[in-house]
Chain A
Amino acid sequence: MSIRVRVPTPLRNVTGGLADLEATAPTVLACFGELETQFPGFSDRVLEENGEVRRFVNVFVNGEDIRFLDGLNTALKSGDELSIVPAMAGG
């Protein structure tokens, strides 16, 4: 078992077109780091230079916005689902 990462269309040009990835890192931030080694450029697309999540990106763990959890330090475990979703939706 591992963590499933759901990748939105705008990011798939760095994941070789893949919409679903797998990771094993223990936190959200570490997960982005793990994916960066597999897909160079991944982290830059999701995080600002200051290390925060980009203004127009929302990150969810099992459907909950990480801003209601521990942010980028939110813990991950096997079986979790991490979704990266463009913020400019709805309304």
Chain B
Amino acid sequence: MGYTQGLVCRECGAKYDLAPLHVCEACFGPLEVSYDYDAIRASISREEIERGPQTVWRYRKLLPVEDEPIVDLQTGCTPLIRADNLGRELGLRNLYIKNDTVNPTFSFKDRPVTVAATRARAFGFSTIACASTGNLAAAVAAHAAKANMRCVVFIPDNLEPSKIVNIAVYGPTVVGIRGGYDDVNRLCAEIADRYGWAFVNINLRPYYAEGSKTLAFEVAEQLGWRAPDAVVVPTASGALFTRIARGFQELADVGLISRATPRMGLAQAAGCSPIVSAYEADSLTIRPVKPSTIAKSLAIGNPADGYYCLKTIKETNGFAGSVSDEEIVDGMRLLARTEGIFAETAGGVSIGVLKKAALAGQLDPDETVVVYVTGNGLKTPEAVAEHARITLTINANMQEFESSMSEHSLLEPVPA
């Protein structure tokens, strides 16, 4: 049995049955899943969760499903790594990285999609779809394959070559749209309104978004059932950012952790930073932008959850920052060089903004800080390709080896 009660409009409170609906008919506000938190609090425990599967489904009571079978690629329970090397460079003594590059399709998007695909099948849909900057499309296509569902994904036609391979290999119909993500999204919103497909991030958005809460649940559990003091989250539409905040809040609400939400730090690429711009202008109104950044997975110029991100930053005494393309590449290389993690461009955004916040004194050296790294570097290898080449090429010849190694001061004698 699930603990969901229905859908409720975040703005006007209008109630709806659990259905493939995402917009309030009265005020156009977002619909969200409501839960019976009293019943969850009475039945949930740390011990029960710890005995559960090593996937996001160990938190099933806080996810919007009933008794239906799960569309499961074994997503989640990714490493939380203590980042002493990176922390030393940034002056942070309790820094952790949530390494979500190692999910089944190599980004955090498997989390919302395992929930959305499960609900899509339960609602009786036969075709699952999405508007995507790339990572979501891969997650949707892989889950569709596992669920034996038809799949149509819509992406900007100028995506990185590796991302396209990472999508197309699962066998979906891939529709490239001439334009950017915002054009893709607008068309898909109109398609979802007229045709009976399960668009995970449009008509199934209330369910889909809930999957991202597991990035808060896991971090709290991995820290020994406590929330960190501050987090940094790479942000495009704002759905991930707001759901991580809610995830920590829910754990406190059901009694699994004592203190609630960390200071929420929002990270965007300078070439697409409408939320940071509004934050810096102390406004709650997002002015959309035309994105121009190498962080294509974050290139959403008209962020649906931007308004709620700004409210979350205020409510948690958080912060927001942006970094240039050059700083993104530097962030990717810094993370790889210090912690052995190869992240995509969005990870470079996280690290770059973390670095800025540390240098600006927005993070205390002793507080517990978690930075979210949400996509794998093999999705965007071209971003660092010019810095990642063969160091030197030689013939298979000992003399040549020794002379070239001496030049690089790399030779060490055999230990005595």
Chain A residues close to B by CB (< 8 Å): 6, 8-10, 13, 19, 45, 54-58, 60, 63, 65, 67-68, 83, 85-91
Contact of B86 with A by CB under 8 A: no
Is B304 a contact of A65 with CB atoms below 8 Å?
no
Within 8 Å CB of A63, what residues of B? Answer: 179, 183, 186
Within 8 Å CB of A58, what residues of B? Answer: 186, 302
A-B pair number, CB within 8 angstroms: 92
Is B28 a contact of A90 with CB atoms below 8 Å?
no
Given known pairs A54-B28, A67-B287, the reply for A87 and B304 (CB within 8 Å) is yes
Within 8 Å CB of B307, what residues of A? Answer: 55
Within 8 Å CB of B304, what residues of A? Answer: 87-91
Within 8 Å CB of B302, what residues of A? Answer: 58, 65, 87
Is A56 a contact of B185 with CB atoms below 8 Å?
no
**Distance from B191 Cβ to chain A, minimum over Cβ atoms (Å):** 11
Contact of B268 with A by CB under 8 A: no
Contact of B236 with A by CB under 8 A: yes
Least CB separation from B10: chain A residue? A88
CA gap between A40 and B18 in the complex, in Å: 30
Is B238 a contact of A86 with CB atoms below 8 Å?
no
Q: CB within 8 A of A89: which of B29, B189, B194?
A: B189
Contact flags (1/0) for B282-326 with A, using CB distance below 8 Å? 000101101000000000101111010000000000000000000
Is B25 a contact of A10 with CB atoms below 8 Å?
yes
| Interface members, chain B 178-236 (any A CB < 8 Å) | 179, 181-183, 185-186, 188-190, 192-194, 201-202, 205, 236
The prevalent SS among residues of B at the interface is loop
| Interface members, chain B 30-64 (any A CB < 8 Å) | 30
A-B contact pairs, 20 of them (CB 8 A): A8-B23, A8-B190, A13-B25, A19-B193, A45-B28, A57-B28, A58-B302, A60-B186, A65-B302, A67-B288, A85-B190, A88-B23, A88-B29, A89-B131, A89-B205, A90-B131, A90-B300, A90-B304, A91-B236, A91-B300
Within 8 Å CB of A45, what residues of B? Answer: 28
Is B23 a contact of A86 with CB atoms below 8 Å?
yes
Least CB separation from B182: chain A residue? A65
Is B29 a contact of A56 with CB atoms below 8 Å?
yes
Contact of B237 with A by CB under 8 A: yes
Within 8 Å CB of A55, what residues of B? Answer: 285, 307
Contact of B22 with A by CB under 8 A: yes
CA gap between A74 and B41 in the complex, in Å: 52
Contacts A60-B186, A63-B179, A90-B189 given; 20 further ones with Cβ under 8 A? A8-B190, A10-B23, A10-B25, A13-B25, A19-B193, A55-B285, A56-B28, A56-B29, A57-B28, A58-B302, A83-B186, A85-B190, A86-B189, A87-B302, A88-B22, A89-B22, A89-B192, A90-B181, A90-B237, A91-B300
Within 8 Å CB of A10, what residues of B? Answer: 23-26, 28
Given known pairs A54-B28, A56-B29, A85-B186, the reply for A91 and B239 (CB within 8 Å) is yes
Contact of B27 with A by CB under 8 A: yes
CA gap between A85 and B186 in the complex, in Å: 7
Within 8 Å CB of B239, what residues of A? Answer: 91
**Distance from A73 Cβ to chain B, minimum over Cβ atoms (Å):** 17
CA gap between A57 and B30 in the complex, in Å: 11
Which of the listed residues A45, A63, A87, A89 has the most CB atoms from chain B within 10 Å of its own CB?
Answer: A89
Contact of B400 with A by CB under 8 A: no
Is B201 a contact of A90 with CB atoms below 8 Å?
yes
Within 8 Å CB of B22, what residues of A? Answer: 86, 88-89
Is A87 a contact of B28 with CB atoms below 8 Å?
yes
Least CB separation from A45: chain B residue? B28
Contact of B68 with A by CB under 8 A: no
**Distance from A12 Cβ to chain B, minimum over Cβ atoms (Å):** 9
Contact of B402 with A by CB under 8 A: no
Least CB separation from A91: chain B residue? B237
Least CB separation from A54: chain B residue? B28
Is A6 a contact of B190 with CB atoms below 8 Å?
yes
**Distance from A53 Cβ to chain B, minimum over Cβ atoms (Å):** 10
**Distance from B291 Cβ to chain A, minimum over Cβ atoms (Å):** 13
Is B238 a contact of A91 with CB atoms below 8 Å?
yes
Contact of B11 with A by CB under 8 A: yes
CA gap between A60 and B183 in the complex, in Å: 10
| Interface members, chain B 80-126 (any A CB < 8 Å) | none
**Distance from A15 Cβ to chain B, minimum over Cβ atoms (Å):** 13
